Protein backbone atom coordinates (compact mmCIF):
# COMPACT_ATOMS: atom_id res chain seq x y z
CA UNK A 1 0.00 0.00 0.00
CA UNK A 2 1.20 3.49 -0.85
CA UNK A 3 2.15 5.24 2.40
CA UNK A 4 2.92 8.63 0.82
CA UNK A 5 0.15 11.20 0.92
CA UNK A 6 -0.58 14.76 -0.08
CA UNK A 7 -2.54 17.05 2.21
CA UNK A 8 -4.64 20.18 1.71
CA UNK A 9 -6.51 22.15 4.36
CA UNK A 10 -8.99 25.03 4.38
CA UNK A 11 -11.66 26.46 6.67
CA UNK A 12 -15.23 25.26 6.24
CA UNK A 13 -18.30 27.07 7.52
CA UNK A 14 -21.11 24.57 8.26
CA UNK A 15 -24.50 24.42 9.94
CA UNK A 16 -22.68 23.05 13.00
CA UNK A 17 -19.94 25.68 13.17
CA UNK A 18 -16.56 26.53 11.62
CA UNK A 19 -14.01 23.75 11.17
CA UNK A 20 -10.62 23.04 9.66
CA UNK A 21 -11.29 20.82 6.64
CA UNK A 22 -8.51 18.48 5.54
CA UNK A 23 -8.16 16.27 2.50
CA UNK A 24 -5.50 13.57 2.75
CA UNK A 25 -4.84 11.89 -0.59
CA UNK A 26 -2.91 8.69 -1.35
CA UNK A 27 -3.76 8.45 -5.07
CA UNK A 28 -5.90 9.47 -8.02
CA UNK A 29 -9.10 7.62 -7.12
CA UNK A 30 -11.78 9.08 -4.88
CA UNK A 31 -11.46 6.19 -2.42
CA UNK A 32 -7.78 7.15 -1.99
CA UNK A 33 -8.89 10.32 -0.21
CA UNK A 34 -9.82 10.68 3.45
CA UNK A 35 -11.63 13.81 4.62
CA UNK A 36 -11.29 15.29 8.10
CA UNK A 37 -13.53 17.85 9.75
CA UNK A 38 -11.56 19.14 12.71
CA UNK A 39 -11.99 21.39 15.72
CA UNK A 40 -8.83 20.49 17.61
CA UNK A 41 -9.12 22.59 20.75
CA UNK A 42 -6.53 20.36 22.39
CA UNK A 43 -4.43 17.49 21.07
CA UNK A 44 -4.17 15.82 24.49
CA UNK A 45 -7.03 13.38 23.93
CA UNK A 46 -9.42 14.69 21.26
CA UNK A 47 -12.79 13.18 20.47
CA UNK A 48 -12.38 11.22 17.23
CA UNK A 49 -15.01 9.66 14.98
CA UNK A 50 -13.78 7.36 12.20
CA UNK A 51 -16.70 6.97 9.78
CA UNK A 52 -16.97 5.24 6.43
CA UNK A 53 -19.18 6.64 3.71
CA UNK A 54 -22.79 5.50 3.58
CA UNK A 55 -24.13 7.20 0.48
CA UNK A 56 -27.58 5.63 0.74
CA UNK A 57 -28.17 7.18 4.16
CA UNK A 58 -26.00 10.31 4.05
CA UNK A 59 -27.02 11.47 0.56
CA UNK A 60 -30.33 9.77 -0.20
CA UNK A 61 -31.49 9.48 3.45
CA UNK A 62 -32.43 5.79 3.42
CA UNK A 63 -34.02 4.69 6.68
CA UNK A 64 -32.53 1.23 7.26
CA UNK A 65 -29.37 2.24 9.16
CA UNK A 66 -28.12 4.85 11.64
CA UNK A 67 -25.15 6.15 9.61
CA UNK A 68 -26.53 9.63 8.92
CA UNK A 69 -27.51 10.09 12.54
CA UNK A 70 -24.09 8.93 13.77
CA UNK A 71 -22.33 11.41 11.50
CA UNK A 72 -24.67 14.22 12.53
CA UNK A 73 -24.18 13.51 16.25
CA UNK A 74 -20.40 13.22 15.83
CA UNK A 75 -20.07 16.62 14.15
CA UNK A 76 -22.18 18.21 16.88
CA UNK A 77 -19.98 16.66 19.57
CA UNK A 78 -16.66 17.68 18.02
CA UNK A 79 -17.95 21.21 17.58
CA UNK A 80 -18.85 21.27 21.27
CA UNK A 81 -15.98 19.33 22.83
CA UNK A 82 -13.18 19.49 20.28
CA UNK A 83 -11.97 16.71 18.04
CA UNK A 84 -12.24 15.42 14.51
CA UNK A 85 -14.39 13.35 12.17
CA UNK A 86 -12.17 11.21 9.93
CA UNK A 87 -14.31 10.28 6.93
CA UNK A 88 -13.23 7.34 4.77
CA UNK A 89 -14.62 7.27 1.22
CA UNK A 90 -15.34 3.54 1.27
CA UNK A 91 -18.96 2.43 1.33
CA UNK A 92 -20.30 -0.95 2.36
CA UNK A 93 -17.93 -1.19 5.36
CA UNK A 94 -15.06 -1.20 2.88
CA UNK A 95 -16.58 -3.75 0.50
CA UNK A 96 -17.54 -1.07 -2.01
CA UNK A 97 -20.78 0.43 -3.21
CA UNK A 98 -21.48 -2.23 -5.85
CA UNK A 99 -21.26 -5.05 -3.31
CA UNK A 100 -23.34 -3.05 -0.85
CA UNK A 101 -26.15 -2.67 -3.39
CA UNK A 102 -25.96 -6.39 -4.18
CA UNK A 103 -26.29 -7.09 -0.47
CA UNK A 104 -29.24 -4.72 -0.12
CA UNK A 105 -30.99 -6.52 -2.98
CA UNK A 106 -30.44 -9.90 -1.31
CA UNK A 107 -32.03 -8.40 1.77
CA UNK A 108 -35.00 -7.19 -0.23
CA UNK A 109 -35.58 -10.33 -2.30
CA UNK A 110 -34.39 -13.14 -0.02
CA UNK A 111 -34.81 -11.65 3.44
CA UNK A 112 -31.11 -11.89 4.27
CA UNK A 113 -29.58 -9.60 6.87
CA UNK A 114 -26.33 -7.79 6.02
CA UNK A 115 -24.18 -10.49 7.60
CA UNK A 116 -25.91 -13.27 5.66
CA UNK A 117 -25.82 -11.28 2.42
CA UNK A 118 -22.08 -10.63 2.66
CA UNK A 119 -21.52 -14.32 3.41
CA UNK A 120 -23.51 -15.32 0.33
CA UNK A 121 -21.51 -12.84 -1.77
CA UNK A 122 -18.27 -14.26 -0.29
CA UNK A 123 -17.31 -10.87 1.13
CA UNK A 124 -15.64 -10.28 4.49
CA UNK A 125 -18.03 -8.83 7.09
CA UNK A 126 -15.88 -5.73 7.59
CA UNK A 127 -12.81 -5.57 5.33
CA UNK A 128 -11.80 -2.06 6.39
CA UNK A 129 -8.32 -1.39 7.71
CA UNK A 130 -7.14 1.73 9.47
CA UNK A 131 -3.46 2.29 8.59
CA UNK A 132 -4.26 5.53 6.75
CA UNK A 133 -6.29 6.78 9.72
CA UNK A 134 -3.24 6.14 11.90
CA UNK A 135 -1.07 8.10 9.42
CA UNK A 136 -3.43 11.06 9.78
CA UNK A 137 -3.29 10.90 13.56
CA UNK A 138 0.51 10.69 13.41
CA UNK A 139 0.63 13.66 11.02
CA UNK A 140 -1.36 15.72 13.53
CA UNK A 141 0.74 14.41 16.43
CA UNK A 142 -2.26 12.73 18.08
CA UNK A 143 -1.24 9.73 20.20
CA UNK A 144 -4.29 9.35 22.45
CA UNK A 145 -7.97 9.60 21.48
CA UNK A 146 -11.48 9.31 22.78
CA UNK A 147 -12.97 7.20 19.99
CA UNK A 148 -16.66 7.61 19.20
CA UNK A 149 -17.61 4.09 18.20
CA UNK A 150 -19.59 0.94 18.91
CA UNK A 151 -17.27 -1.16 16.74
CA UNK A 152 -14.52 -3.11 18.56
CA UNK A 153 -12.61 -3.59 15.28
CA UNK A 154 -12.01 0.16 15.06
CA UNK A 155 -10.70 0.19 18.62
CA UNK A 156 -8.39 -2.76 17.91
CA UNK A 157 -7.22 -1.20 14.62
CA UNK A 158 -5.97 1.93 16.36
CA UNK A 159 -4.60 0.24 19.49
CA UNK A 160 -2.60 -2.24 17.39
CA UNK A 161 -0.88 0.74 15.72
CA UNK A 162 0.12 2.24 19.06
CA UNK A 163 -2.71 4.75 19.56
CA UNK A 164 -4.10 4.97 23.07
CA UNK A 165 -7.89 4.61 22.84
CA UNK A 166 -10.68 5.37 25.27
CA UNK A 167 -14.04 4.33 23.87
CA UNK A 168 -16.92 6.81 23.83
CA UNK A 169 -20.23 5.10 22.88
CA UNK A 170 -22.14 6.50 19.91
CA UNK A 171 -25.44 4.71 20.15
CA UNK A 172 -28.44 5.91 18.15
CA UNK A 173 -31.84 4.70 19.27
CA UNK A 174 -33.19 2.15 16.81
CA UNK A 175 -36.26 2.92 14.74
CA UNK A 176 -38.68 0.40 13.27
CA UNK A 177 -36.75 0.53 9.98
CA UNK A 178 -33.21 0.44 11.43
CA UNK A 179 -33.77 -2.10 14.23
CA UNK A 180 -33.02 -5.21 12.16
CA UNK A 181 -29.75 -3.78 10.82
CA UNK A 182 -28.56 -2.65 14.24
CA UNK A 183 -29.47 -5.98 15.84
CA UNK A 184 -27.42 -7.76 13.18
CA UNK A 185 -24.41 -5.54 13.86
CA UNK A 186 -24.74 -6.25 17.58
CA UNK A 187 -25.50 -9.97 17.58
CA UNK A 188 -23.49 -11.12 14.55
CA UNK A 189 -20.68 -8.58 14.23
CA UNK A 190 -19.97 -7.84 17.88
CA UNK A 191 -20.88 -4.16 17.96
CA UNK A 192 -21.32 -2.75 21.46
CA UNK A 193 -24.88 -1.52 21.78
CA UNK A 194 -26.67 -1.56 25.12
CA UNK A 195 -30.15 -1.42 23.60
CA UNK A 196 -29.69 -4.95 22.22
CA UNK A 197 -27.92 -6.52 25.19
CA UNK A 198 -29.32 -9.89 26.11
CA UNK A 199 -29.89 -10.53 29.81
| Active site residue ranges | 126, 128
Angle formed by the axes of helices 152-159 and 131-139, nearest 10°: 60
Q: How many residues does the chain have?
A: 199
β-pair partners for 147: 48, 167
Residue 181: which of 100, 122, 127 has the closest Cα?
Answer: 100
d(C-alpha 136, C-alpha 83), whole Å = 13
Give the SS3 label for residue 41: coil
The angle subtended at Cα 149 by Cα 143 and Cα 152, nearest 5°, is 85
Residue 33: which of 45, 25, 44 has the closest Cα?
Answer: 25
Cα distances (Å, whole numbers) of residue 183 to 39, 65, 71, 170, 174 = 32, 11, 19, 15, 9
Amino acid sequence: MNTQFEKAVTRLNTHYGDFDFYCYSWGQHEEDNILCLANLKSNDEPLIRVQSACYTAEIFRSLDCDCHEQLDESIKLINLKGGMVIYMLCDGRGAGLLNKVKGLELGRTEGLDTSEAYHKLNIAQDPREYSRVVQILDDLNIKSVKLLTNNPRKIEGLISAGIKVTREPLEIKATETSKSYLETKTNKMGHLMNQFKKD
